[in-house]
Structure 1
Amino acid sequence: MARLRIGIDTGGTFTDVVALDEDTGRIVTAKTPSTPADPAEGFGTAVALALDLALGPGEAAADAVAALAHGTTVATNRLLEDRIDDLGFVTTEGFEAVLEIARQSVPDGYGNSYFWVKPPRIVPAHRVRTVGGRLDATGAEVRPFDEAGAVAAARWFRERGIGAIGVCFLHSYADPRHELAMREVLRREHPDAVVSLSCEVLREYREYERSVTTLVDAAVKPAVSRYLGRITGRAPARPLVMKSNGGVVSADEAARRPIATVLSGPAAGALGAAFVAAAGGHRSVVTLDGGGTSTDVAVVLDGAPALTTEGAVGRHPVRIPMIDIVTVGAGGGSVAELTPEGTLKVGPRSAGADPGPLCYGRGGEEVTVTDAHAVLGRIPPHLLGGRIELDVLLAHLGVERLARRLGLEAERAAAGILEISAWNQANAIRRITVGRGLDVRDLPLVAFGGSGPLLACRLLDVLGLPSAVIPRDPGNLSAFGLLTVDVRNDYVRTRVARDAGLDLTGLGAGYAELEAQAAAALDREGFAAGRRRFERSADLRYHGQAFEVRVAAPPGPVGDAFRAEVVRRFHDAHEALYGYCYRDDATRHPVEWVNLRVSGVGPIVRPALDTRPAGDGDAGRARTGVRDVHFDGWTPTPVYRRDALEPGDVVEGPAVIEEYGSTLPLHPGFRARTDPHGNLVVTRD
């Protein structure tokens, strides 16, 4: 009988895998180096490794896997590296400059950006074609669709070999008929083209954001489709793919709308951290996912990660529902180098998986954060239980060369590298907490990923955090998070209307249309009517405001009580966000409905976190030896094996706690206690 559930998270440096045996509750974890040149190869290696660990070498696996969930960085990396070729854009006649005009926004304001240069557009002006025809904001046709112009545009792209095309016509969120007609022309005149329509990618107003989001979808669709096709052939079960919104969908659905996967891996990590933290009694936390290439930070409030639609990947704004994540180039592979001014800089450039840090011995020539940890003795001279031996001498020589240029000793330079990396992470945490109106001192930190726990003690000092939770197998928490995720699809429809005199019949019809779309997607995913739920929300604002506030909408009939409850929630949310509302002044500040939203959810059975009985309180049984570690100076430091620690055990710093996928350097003045779930809870002494 199929009993295994497998989660695979492909990162820039390592591919992490978790396998859960649903019959016994046994969980096995492993890591294998990523293969950036062909991510599907690393995926196949991870699948084989998981099956060997869960079933034993050589055991038949054809019928053993019940589900396989995957977090991928294929779309993200393509955008971050600006690998966008052969992309074309079709828009309404007279609006060919929409990408050039954009929002006229400058990072940090004009006063701080004297030398800012506008980045190149995702589609250069010479690859933009326009087609006649016009709808108004209600969807009524002002001018008919110009089929002859559409044929000419399609042939222009075909003759130049442009194979990925985004289509965004004015007001197509209100009525998609012109965009659907354009797709039929492209199918007929340019059948090899990959086409994305804005009415299917993002059916809401704001033409610039809708255009760019549609073009991003078209840009990544060929690569993501090829990749998903390759891993489907290697997978022992139909793969589910993690989406940015905190849900999973089948590989077929992901290929249909690949933009939804742009923050696939980081979203899984935030959900896994929320799941583990809630089991330990922490409903609101900051999550920190430290990888080899970057660190991803998110906030979990009352058990659920915060969501946003105001996101971006690299320089490309995308308006899709996504977990609110801030990413900084502060991972284990982040390169330490001197700026032209002679100061030390760490990241965002990374040595990646190949060649990797100096201490990997694979030909790397630049000092990284991992090298600094190795030089200071804060990580063992091997990784992954001995699978990767580290050349500490090679790292020391590289740090010495950098230190001489700074006029410092090697240990001081290495400590400076780690200090800069810690402040990079701290600033990311500030952006997502203080920048969102939250007091960071109220929120414990959940640190995971291979490099996440390494700077946890320093972050407690810098930010005044109350504690840090280090989950079991922290290096594989993102892969574990994939086993906790429901199938989820999001749908949106712009419907701008004043609350006073709102057409409730039309409002109900709008929600019914979105729920029908969500139901059709869940049908394709195999969820029967009794195994699904729909979550409504709405974007509202005060008339005259430029942006909206999203609030949850109740289930049930759409009538006066429904309308009043949504408006009440809007006033409450606006007051919580901005410190004021116009609850009692509807005449001068009327409420305006803007977008209707529905999420279709197909729930899964989540794994249970086992609890272990308390030990005898003697952490000494887990002690494996002593080595010199540099904190404020070289100190003989006890080393502990994490899997030998039992609930109730307390380790006092200075100490180093090692495990298969990560290491926790416990600084002087800190202590770590093992909780009933096997998590380490780090606090100041």
Structure 2
Amino acid sequence: MVRRLRIGIDTGGTFTDVVALDGDGTLVTTKTPSTPADPAEGFADGVAKILRLTGAGPRDVAALSHGTTVATNRLLEDRIDDLGFVTTEGFASILEIARQSVPDGYGNSYFWVKPPRIVPAHRVRAVGGRLDHTGAELRPFDEESAVAAARWFRDQGVLAIGVCFLHSYADPSHELAMRDVLAREHPDAVVSLSCEVLREYREYERSVTTLVDAAVKPAMNGYLARIAERVASRLLVMKSNGGVLSADEVARQPITTVLSGPAAGALGAAFVVARSGHGSVVTLDGGGTSTDVAVVLDGEPTLTTEGSIGRHPVKIPMIDIVTVGAGGGSVAWRSPEGALKVGPRSAGADPGPLCYGRGGAEATVTDAHAVLGRIPPHLLGGEVPLDVDAARRGLEALAGDLGLPVERAAAGILEISAWNQANAIRQITVKRGLDVRDYPLVAFGGSGPLLACRLLDVLALPAAVVPENPGNLSAFGLLTVDVKNDYVRTRVVRDAELDPALLAGVYADLEAEAAEALAREGFPEDRRRFARSADLRYYGQAFEVRVAAPAGPPDQGLRAEVVRRFHDAHEALYGYCYRDDPRHPVEWVNLRVSGIGPIERPRPTERPPGDGDPSRARTGTRTVYFDAWEEAAVYRREKLAPGDTVEGPAVIEEFGSTLPLHPGFTATLDGHGNLVVTR
């Protein structure tokens, strides 16, 4: 009998996490080492391992859902080669001018040096033709200069090209004509058009987003092709907006995957803790290379279009995530001034921390945990034995340079790492107008729970929730998300002058585009959902606030409801609004539609309570350093039952992660398998 196995695979910098969900609801999890030289190899290894564990064959796999860092890493590492840019005549310097801004203001940036542009000036070509902001043609498309530009790129061997003409969000005809010229004159080129990547105003952000799409397209398409060679199942790829898309569709728009892996973790956390009554939480996904934090409000991760990857602004819908280089593999080092520093450089998967015994030469956060006894002398249930002596020798050398005992140096490494994570959490909460003390922390990922107790102290959080199988939650999150595509049109008009017929026409066009994409994904008409939203601002403001638009006919009632929601959202965000104040009229800027194809989600079952005695899960004791060396009880998490409470000092171990429970803290297992940590 053929089974229906759905597999989620999240490729991180150190480990590739794999989760398989069988048709009967059985969940199986595992991990394999990542293969940075060719991530497709680690992906295939993960599929092969999970099939062995489940006793299934390739024909039993109904779908593979994948979170990937291929696009993200290419941008973070600035591996952007031979990229070309075509823009409107007279606007060749748009990338050089950018936003004329410097970090921290001009007074604090005397020594700031402008970073290199994503496309150097000599690889920018301008083409004649001009549209106005309504899409009306002021000058016709100049095919002669377009041909000259295409031939120049061909002769120079530039194979990835972004095209962004002025006001093409209003009418894409000139960009489509440029693509025809490139296809004829330079057929080997990979081309991205701004009218397809981001049909929204603001020329600089639209230009850079289009160029980022062109830059990652060859690498992403090559990666997906290598996966297709190794695995013959239908592949869905996680997008930054919290949805998935088929590999064929992602090949058309790889820019949408730039925060693929972190988005899956935030969604998985939201899905898991919602069952326990936690609608709004802060999520912390601790990996080997970095830590990603996000906020979930009323069950939904917050979204933004004002993100960036490395130094490149990327104006696409994405889950609002802050990433810091504070993972298990983050390297500890002594600065020239003699201070202890941690990260952002990581030992990664190869060679990895000193305790991995693979030739690592520098102490890491994982080494500090190992030396202090906070993690067991092996990972993944014994699959990865740790050389604690090697970690201690490395830390002794660093501690000698710092003039500290080895325990103080190791504890200092963990303290710095905790504060790095705390600062990221503050950035996603306090800087967004949220009181961090109102939100429980959901700690997951291989290293996420390791510093949970310290973060409760630093941030005065009410509790930390550690889900079941926290090391694989991002991979599990891939099985909880729908197919989703976003579409946008810029229509700048004051609310008093807005014709409901304009709303109806634009929303109808966007929903038609979304329906066409969902049809390509195999969703029949009765399984397609559409979510409307709009970006509004007060006239004279530079940026907008996005609010949901209700379903139903786009009439005066819908218009009034959206404006009411905008006033409410503006007041919630900034503490004031101009409701009923004619001196500050409301202006509509962008109209948006998300096309959603729902998938079947896992159906977890509630576990029966135990007898309240955690001793059945106790496996012994281990000497652990918190503020001093002390005996800590060691527990196996899978043997704990709902209602069991463990008191610190203790260490709770499981296959993919470990929770060190500091003195003065308790951890209680709830009915859904979550460990709830409180003071």
What range is the shorter-chain TM-score in? over 0.9
Structure 1 residue 683, shift from structure 2 partner: 0.3
| Paired position in structure 2 for 1:486 | 482
- Counterpart of 1:645 in structure 2 is 640
Written as runs of structure 1 = structure 2, the 5 A alignment for 1:547-558 is 547-558=543-554
Q: Which amino acid aligns with 1:564?
A: A
Give 1:109 deviation, angstroms: 2.2
* Separation in structure 2 between the aligned mates of residue 384 and residue 329 of structure 1, nearest angstrom: 23
CA contact (8 A) 1:279 1:609 kept: no
Q: Once the 2 structures are TM-superposed, how far is the Cα of residue 236 of structure 1 from its aligned partner?
A: 4.1
Q: Which residue of 1 aligns with 2:401?
A: 405
The residue that corresponds to 2:451 in the other structure is: 455
2:104 counterpart (88, 104, 108): 108
Q: Separation in 2 of the partners of 1:301 and 1:330?
A: 25
Match of 1:20 in 2: 21
CA offsets, 1:68-108, max 9 Å, x none?
10000000000000000010000000100000000122222
Report which stretch shifted further, 204-213 or 115-124.
115-124
Alignment of 1:412-561 (within 5 A): 412-561=408-557
Q: Give the counterpart letter for 1:665 in structure 2.
A: P
Query: Which letter does structure 2 place at the counterpart of 1:480?
Result: F
Q: Does 1:29 align with 2:48?
A: no
Quote the Cα distance in structure 2 between the aligned partners of 1:46 and 1:613.
32
Q: 2: CA distance between counterparts of 1:109 and 1:290?
A: 32
Is 1:655 aligned with 2:650? yes
- Counterpart CA distance in 2 for 1:112 and 1:643 is 53
SS state at 1:281 partner: coil
| Equivalent residues in 2 for 1:256-655, closer than 5 Å | 256-585=252-581, 587-655=582-650
Letter in 2 for 1:31: K
Is the Cα contact below 8 Å between 2:3 and 2:22 reproduced in 1?
A: no
Q: How is 1:13-412 mapped onto 2 (pairs within 5 angstroms)?
A: 13-23=14-24, 25-55=25-55, 59=56, 61-412=57-408
After superposition, the C-alpha distances for 1:460-514 in whole angstroms (9 at most, x for unaligned) are: 0000000000001000000000000000000000001111121221221111000
Q: Distance in 2 between matches of 1:111 and 1:358?
A: 43
Could you say what secondary structure the match of 2:292 adopts?
strand
How far has the Cα of 1:62 moved from its partner? 3.3
Does structure 1 retain, via aligned residues, the 8 Å contact 2:3–2:23? no
How big is the shift at 1:117? 1.3
Task: Give the conservation status (yes or no) of the 8 Å contact 1:97–1:125.
Answer: yes
Aligned amino acid, residue 29 of structure 2: T
Paired residue type of 1:7: G
The normalised TM-score by structure 1 is: 0.98
Shift of 1:609: 1.6
CA deviations over 1:177-196 (Å, ceiling 9, x no partner): 00000000000000000000
- AA partner of residue 676 (structure 2): V
Q: For 1:21, give the aligned amino acid.
A: D
Q: Deviations over 1:408-439 (max 9, x none)?
A: 00000000000000000000000001111111
Q: Report the secondary structure of 2:604's partner residue.
A: coil
Q: Tell me how far 1:232 sits from its aligned partner.
A: 2.2
Separation (CA, whole Å) in 2 of partners of 1:278 and 1:292: 26
CA distance in structure 1 between the partners assigned to 2:501 and 2:94 by the alignment: 35
Q: Secondary structure at the match of 1:47?
A: helix
Matched residue of 2:580: which SS? coil
In 1, Cα distance between equivalents of 2:165 and 2:89 = 9
Preserved CA contact (<8 Å) 1:457 1:667: yes
The 2-side partners of 1:113 and 1:428 are apart by 23
Helix, strand or coil at the partner of 2:479: helix
1:114 & 1:341 partners in 2: Cα distance?
22
**1 CA distance for matches of 2:101 and 2:612?**
58
Equivalent-residue separation in structure 1 for 2:71 and 2:366 (angstroms) = 27
Structure 2, unpaired ranges of 5+: none
Structure 2 distance, partners of 1:421, 1:117, is 29
Q: Secondary structure at 1:564's aligned position in 2?
A: helix
- 1:233 to partner: Cα distance: 2.8
User: How far apart are residue 113 of structure 1 and its match?
Assistant: 2.6
Tell me the amino acid that sits aligned with residue 37 of structure 2.
A
CA contact (8 A) 1:239 1:250 kept: yes
SS of equivalent residue, structure 1 residue 123: coil
* Residue aligning to 1:673: 668
CA distance in 2, matches of 1:336, 1:84: 29
Q: Distance in 1 between matches of 2:514 and 2:578?
A: 34
3-state DSSP class of the match of 1:678? coil
Contact 2:159–2:188 under 8 Å retained in 1: yes
Aligned residue number for residue 682 of structure 1: 677
Distance 1:505 1:617 in 2: 63
Paired position in structure 2 for 1:9: 10
C-alpha deviation, 1:284, in angstroms: 0.3
Letter of the 1:38 counterpart: D
Query: 3-state DSSP class of the match of 2:9?
Result: strand
Which AA in structure 2 matches 1:257?
Answer: Q
The structural deviation recorded for 1:319 is 0.2
> Counterpart of 2:501 in structure 1: which amino acid?
T
Query: What CA distance in whole angstroms lies between the structure 1 residues aligned with 2:58 and 2:296?
Result: 38
C-alpha deviation, 1:219, in angstroms = 0.1
Alpha-carbon contact 1:243-1:267 (below 8 Å) kept: yes
Alpha-carbon offset, residue 317 of structure 1: 0.4
- Separation in structure 1 between the aligned mates of residue 314 and residue 370 of structure 2, nearest angstrom: 39
SS in 1 for 2:90: coil
DSSP 3-state at the match of 1:208: helix
Percent identity reads: 80
CA distance in 2 between counterparts of 1:327 and 1:302 reads 22
Residues matched between the structures, number: 678
Q: Is the 8 A contact 1:65 1:236 kept in 2?
A: no
